[in-house]
Amino acid sequence: MALDKPHWLHLFKEVVTSGLCTGCAGCVIACPHDVLRYDDSNGVYKPFKIEADGGFDNCTHGEKGCTMCTRACPRFRTWEEECDNYLFGRQRTIEEVAGVSSEIILARASDPEINKMGQDGGLVSALLIWALENDIVDAALLSYTPNSAATPHADNIPPPDIRTHYLPNTDSAGSFAGRSQKAIPLVAHNRRDVLKAIGSRYTYSTNPLGYFEAVQDGAERLALVGMGCQSSAPAIMSARKAGKVARRFVLNIGLLCSKTFDETVFPQFFEQRYKVKEEQISKINIKGVFQVWTTDGSYQEIPLKEAYAWTRDGCKACPDFAAQHADISAGGIGTFENWTLLIIRTQTGRQTIDGAVTAGMIETRPVDDDPNALKTLNKLSRISRKRWPADAITGPGLI
């Protein structure tokens, strides 16, 4: 028995049930023995182990030496320090409250249609289209809302294969009926797929779980789009040499994020308090308030703080506003609508931006054009860092 090596027994106690687990599913996609599943029913958003091979809280493969789930978890033990050292060759300093970066600028899609459809500048979608059309990646792990009236080319059912590692018979395809804001993973292979996923949903979508479908489709090189909790997963896998899965993530695009909301926010908050039904919502953005566009063409603003009671549990201890371990991070902070705040962090991030600029897919401008953007970035990053529990392993700027 290799009890000294950390495995599911330790992950279950130290992360899954301690309040640190974000629900990113890094452990699920890395498990080589296929004993982990994912529960996204009733707002749970957590991994769980099947009963066989050691029960729900232990694992016989772990007892024999398998450590893969702990090596793929971006909240296990000294995760932040290890990711920083792997990606940047050093730990962040206390001043680098939004993580290590090489440049921060504003950017947007050059194509006016993508720019208009995008959540902010359509930057993320323009980069993905460029990467897919220029043989940089084979597929991209994204998120979409299959039943949304606003989703271009809506299919009305989730892709059939993508749910293989979810809790069986709970949130199966049928239960999506009427759930127009239920965000789920989408594997994108081309421009059409990317545009199906464009825009932001503020409920949780476990994009890394698209890995199974992408690999089954034969994709070798993947782009991942996800919030910080998800974009630290490829980094920690690489740092801890979980290379079989990590090597496929060749482009990691992070989204700035202070929280996601429990799905009950729609019936209990938007509908009951503000008479806005889930199926009427065509777009939501957050700019200090909820900006809500509805399918009848009207627009209204709804107080954001009132909805904090519906914060998803997995976000409550998350210290990462700025997606600190992505190649590039993108956010909607700032005065200018239709521009995305862009943080370039790694060499891959730099090459991606340079390539897309040269191809005319995106355009950029200095962040100094918007003096408030950096202030807001640092302020929101600082707030998130205070959420990390005092009794968990600490790092610069964490309590």
Ligand X SMILES: Cc1cc2nc3c(=O)[nH]c(=O)nc-3n(C[C@H](O)[C@H](O)[C@H](O)COP(=O)(O)OP(=O)(O)OC[C@H]3O[C@@H](n4cnc5c(N)ncnc54)[C@H](O)[C@@H]3O)c2cc1C
Chain contacts with ligand SF4 (rule: CB under 6 A) = 11, 15-16, 21-27, 47, 72-73, 75, 227-229, 257-260, 314-315, 318, 320
Query: Which of 52, 24, 41 is CA-nearest to residue 257?
Result: 24
**Using alpha carbons only, what angle is made at residue 361 by residues 252 and 245, rounded to the nearest 5 degrees?**
20
43 binds ligand X (CB under 6 A): no
Query: What is the C-alpha separation between 381 and 333, in angstroms, rounded?
Result: 12
Q: How far is the CB of 166 from ligand X (least distance, A)?
A: 16
Q: How far is the CB of 299 from ligand SF4 (least distance, A)?
A: 25
Site string for ligand X, 176-195 (x = CB under 6 A): -------x------------
Q: How far is the CB of 223 from ligand X (least distance, A)?
A: 9
The option from ligand SF4, ligand X, none interacting with 202 (CB < 5 to 8 A, set by class) reads ligand X
201 binds ligand X (CB under 6 A): yes
123 binds ligand X (CB under 6 A): yes
Q: How far is the CB of 21 from ligand SF4 (least distance, A)?
A: 3
Pairing of strands 281-286, 289-294: antiparallel
Interface with ligand X in residues 322-361 (CB under 6 A): 330-333, 340
The option from ligand X, ligand SF4, none interacting with 201 (CB < 5 to 8 A, set by class) reads ligand X
Beta carbon nearer to ligand X, 59 or 315: 315
Query: Which of 72, 198, 68, 64 is CA-nearest to residue 129?
Result: 198
The option from ligand X, ligand SF4, none interacting with 183 (CB < 5 to 8 A, set by class) reads ligand X
Q: Where are the beta strands (DSSP E) in the chain?
A: 36-39, 46-49, 103-109, 139-144, 184-188, 222-227, 249-255, 281-286, 289-294, 299-303, 328-331, 340-344, 362-366
Structure tokens at 113: 């249609």
Helices (H), the chain: 8-11, 26-30, 60-63, 68-71, 79-88, 112-117, 123-133, 191-197, 210-216, 228-239, 243-246, 265, 272-274, 347-358, 371-385
Q: How far is the CB of 27 from ligand SF4 (least distance, A)?
A: 3
Beta carbon nearer to ligand X, 14 or 278: 278
Residues at the contact surface with ligand X, assessed by CB under 6 A? 118-125, 142-143, 183, 197-202, 205, 207, 225-227, 255-258, 260, 286, 330-333, 340
